[in-house]
Amino acid sequence: MANIFALGPALFLGMVAAGVAADPVPLMPKLPPGKVVLVLQPHHDDHTTDYGMGGLIARFVDEGYDVYYVRASNDEKDGSALPAENDNINHREAVAAAKVLGMKEVISLNWRNDYTASIPLNELRAQLIFLIRKYKPEIVLGHNPWEHYQKNPDHRNVGRAMAEAYWMAGLANVHPEHRKLGLEPHEASYLFGKARLDWGLGHTPNVAVELNEEQVRRKQTAYETHRNVYAKPATARAVKAELARQGLYIPEWAGLDDQEAAVRMEEWHMNWISRKRGAEAGVRYAEDYYFLDEFDALPGLKAYLRDNVVKP
């Protein structure tokens, strides 16, 4: 019998992630109320990767919200070109992917990719506070800063600045100079945090968001739009070689070159993760999140309101 667990390390890691038992995640009955969503992420592709939030963004757009994407890094390390060229290509592809999802704008802060640890936290936070006050989102999306063992420095640092800005943008005495520009304090009411479960612990999704098939497809198309980093042929080549050593092959890959096979694998994975999260929540497709709302800072208040509120 073929030993599929002897497959290459990349595939094996995927199997480990797939095998993590998940408690049922409650389905969010409807999206939070609002008009504007601000996505605060480090990288060009953080809204579309397999663990990402492209489906939720598509759903917000479909339901009439204006969604803006902030890309804090210049993404110079992502891709096979030299840094300056990667920055250009990745920015172009980020704008195209944002259009696929229906977002209004990509705002690039251009910090050096993978060197965000050297940015003073307060400086990055001040930029995000400024943007929150300008765009006035009710809803903020970003990387869950409470995820442990996140090995990507940009995910850690931008996630932390995002969480602080989400709260502090509402405080009038934080950056009072913004008022001279006509920007008033603004506190968003809802935060969706995302993380990669295959890299670490500490991220505990508490809500699932249902997606329809078209939203999953748009998320996938947006992901594919990042051609500079998408579907590396070496991945398919390694899988093919390992399967061949075991006398196995994938019929669907017959006649495909390594690049085409890598694309097929990515398409399968994107659809699989949406189906898997959906199955965990009892629907066809979903994404899951760590969700905070305006009452989470006040333990017991939701229960008090539920028990005491009446109609006049």
CB of 200 to Zn ion, least distance (A): 14
Nearer to Zn ion by Cβ, of 73 and 215: the residue is 73
Residue ranges of alpha helices (H) inside 136-170 are 153-168
Taking the complex as a whole, the smallest distance from the CB of residue 48 to Zn ion amounts, in Å, to 10
Site for Zn ion in 16-45 (CB under 5 A): 43
Rank residues 37 and 158 by Cβ distance to Zn ion and give the closer one: 158
Q: Which is nearer to Zn ion, 43 or 125 (CB)?
A: 43
- Category of 43 on φ-ψ map: left (φ > 0), alpha (ψ -120 to 50) or beta: beta
Which positions from 41 to 80 touch Zn ion by CB under 5 A, shown as an x/- string?
Answer: --x--x----------------------------------
| Least Å from the CB of residue 41 to Zn ion | 7
Number of residues binding to Zn ion, judged by CB under 5 A: 2
Dihedral of the alpha carbons of 175, 177, 178, 183, in degrees to the nearest 10 = 120
Distances (CA, A) of 92 to 108, 160, 223, 305: 11, 27, 13, 47
Site string for Zn ion, 130-159 (x = CB under 5 A): ------------------------------
Round to whole Å and give the CA distance between 47 and 43: 8
Closest distance to Zn ion from the beta carbon of 52 (Å)? 9
Q: Which residue, 112 or 136, is less far from Zn ion as judged by CB?
A: 112
Distance CA 106, CA 48 (A): 14
Which residue's CB atom is positioned nearest to Zn ion?
43
Closer of 49 and 274 to Zn ion (Cβ): 49
Q: What are phi and psi of 148, to 5 degrees?
A: -85, 160
Please, what is the minimum distance in Å from the beta carbon of residue 54 to Zn ion? Answer: 13
Which tokens go with 122?
């307060």
Among residues 273, 274, 252, the alpha carbon closest in space to that of 262 is found at 252
Query: Angle at CA 289, nearest 5°, toward 66 and 266?
Result: 85
Residue type, 200: G
Contacts of 267 (CB under 8 A, 6+ apart): 220, 224
Nearer to Zn ion, 130 or 199 (CB): 199
By the rule CB under 5 A, 93 interacts with Zn ion: no
> Between 3 and 118, whose beta carbon lies closer to Zn ion?
118
What CA–CA distance (Å, rounded) separates 307 from 309? 6
Least Å distance, CB 110 to Zn ion, is 15
Q: Least CB distance from residue 298 to Zn ion, whole Å?
A: 32
Contacts with Zn ion in 160-189 (CB under 5 A)? Answer: none
- From the CB of 278, what's the least distance to Zn ion, in Å? 24
In order of 58, 151, 215, 275, 300, the CA distances from 218 in angstroms are: 7, 28, 5, 15, 39
Distance of CA 94 to the CA centre of its chain: 13
Nearer to Zn ion, 46 or 288 (CB): 46
Q: By the criterion CB under 5 A, which residues form the site for Zn ion? A: 43, 46
